[in-house]
């Protein structure tokens, strides 16, 4: 079993980004600037956004955080987005999801300038990704591709099962892995809540990407020997033995699965850290395009 150390790979990506920032400074070019809009006070979203801002500092990026009350109207939020779209100093920005229920997420994501859409969620960028045209790839799938490439996991001709069809992870990673690219050429199956015989699908797969958010759902007897498992799940489960009273766990029952697999990502320390480094990579790209 080979453990895919996402923390270590993410550190390498951050170092590469920092070197690019240093080079830009030497050439008197502007430092990349990432902004984040955070609506409301959801604890998990706050933590994610704080980590993104912290990572900006580490690589020498400028960052701005726009904290908005969850009573904000759609019109006010759109006006804030327009201001950031028009601010030449900001290279890229994200609207942290989920948004409060009274706000139409699709409408909001449509207002982000595609040139600054470092999340890759605007339909223009999503469409480009689908067509295989160079663009900002959503950070989590981009991070998974980076882990696969840097671990030299072969994808060509392999049976790949993606569990989950979300717009942020399942759908885009299924598209990317089937494309005719060095990291693609897989035969991809997308499983979801209506799929039948999931165990059979898992057993037949060379690569499983799981993004369903059901803790420890995938057990050792569900997987093929030597397969590669990428666990995107991050769920808090109660654990009286932990000082915090909970622990973070993935979709995969690591104990029973790890002895059978070829490659596996741990949770935490697998896909999670990659998401932030890929967001910063997109921001650097946005900055370079606007030079």
Sequence-distant (≥ 6) Cβ neighbours of residue 188 within 8 angstroms: 160, 161, 162, 174, 177, 178
Q: Which of 96, 206, 251, 281 is catalytic?
A: 96
Residues 67-96 that bind ligand GUN (CB under 6 A): 94-96
Cβ 22 to ligand GUN shortest distance, Å = 27
Which one, of 223, 234, 214, 233, lies nearest residue 263 by Cα? Answer: 223
Distance CA 198, CA 93 (A): 37
Residue 52 known to be catalytic = yes
Cβ 261 to ligand GUN shortest distance, Å = 26
CB closer to ligand GUN out of 80 and 258: 80
Q: Which of 119, 206, 251, 253 is catalytic?
A: 119
Sequence-distant (≥ 6) Cβ neighbours of residue 157 within 8 angstroms: 185, 186, 187
Q: What is the CA 201 to chain-centroid distance, rounded?
A: 24
**Residue 119 binds ligand GUN, judged by CB under 6 A:** yes
Applying CB under 6 A, the site for ligand GUN has a residue count of: 8
Instruction: Identify the residue among 97, 198, 201, 203 touching ligand GUN (CB under 6 A).
Output: 97
**Pair 97, 77: CB distance under 8 Å:** no
State the DSSP code for 96. Answer: -
State the DSSP code for 160. Answer: E
Residues 144-183 that bind ligand GUN (CB under 6 A): 168
**Pair 109, 122: CB distance under 8 Å:** yes
Cβ 120 to ligand GUN shortest distance, Å = 9
Cβ 223 to ligand GUN shortest distance, Å = 26
**Residue 39 binds ligand GUN, judged by CB under 6 A:** no
**Residue 139 binds ligand GUN, judged by CB under 6 A:** yes
Judged by the rule CB under 6 A, the positions of this chain that interact with ligand GUN are 94-97, 119, 139-140, 168
Active site residues: 52, 96, 119
């Amino acid at each position: 079993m080979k453990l895919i150390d996402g923390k270590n790979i993410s550190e390498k990506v951050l170092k590469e980004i920092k070197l690019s920032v240093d080079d830009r400074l030497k050439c008197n070019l502007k430092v990349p600037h990432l902004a984040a809009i955070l609506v409301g006070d959801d604890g998990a979203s706050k933590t994610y956004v704080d980590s993104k801002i912290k990572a900006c500092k580490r690589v020498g990026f400028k960052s701005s955080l726009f904290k908005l009350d969850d009573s904000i109207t759609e019109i006010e939020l759109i006006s804030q987005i327009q201001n950031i779209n028009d601010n030449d100093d900001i290279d890229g920005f994200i609207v942290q999801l989920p948004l409060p229920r009274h706000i139409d997420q699709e409408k909001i994501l449509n207002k982000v300038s595609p040139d600054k859409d470092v999340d890759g969620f605007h339909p223009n960028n999503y469409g480009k990704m689908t067509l295989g045209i160079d663009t900002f790839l959503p950070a989590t799938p981009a991070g998974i591709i980076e882990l696969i490439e840097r671990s030299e996991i072969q994808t060509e001709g392999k049976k790949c099962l993606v569990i989950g069809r979300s717009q942020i992870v399942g759908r885009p990673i299924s598209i990317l892995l089937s494309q005719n690219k060095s990291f693609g050429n897989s035969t991809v199956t997308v499983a979801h809540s209506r799929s039948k015989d999931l165990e059979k699908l898992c057993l037949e797969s060379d690569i499983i990407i799981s993004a369903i958010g059901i803790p420890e759902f995938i057990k050792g007897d569900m997987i093929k020997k030597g397969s590669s498992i990428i666990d995107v799940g991050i769920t808090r489960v109660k654990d009286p033995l932990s000082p915090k009273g909970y622990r973070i766990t993935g979709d995969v029952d690591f104990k029973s699965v790890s002895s059978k697999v070829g490659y596996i990502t741990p949770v935490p320390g697998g896909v999670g850290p990659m998401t932030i480094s890929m967001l910063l990579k997109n921001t650097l790209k946005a900055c370079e395009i606007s030079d």
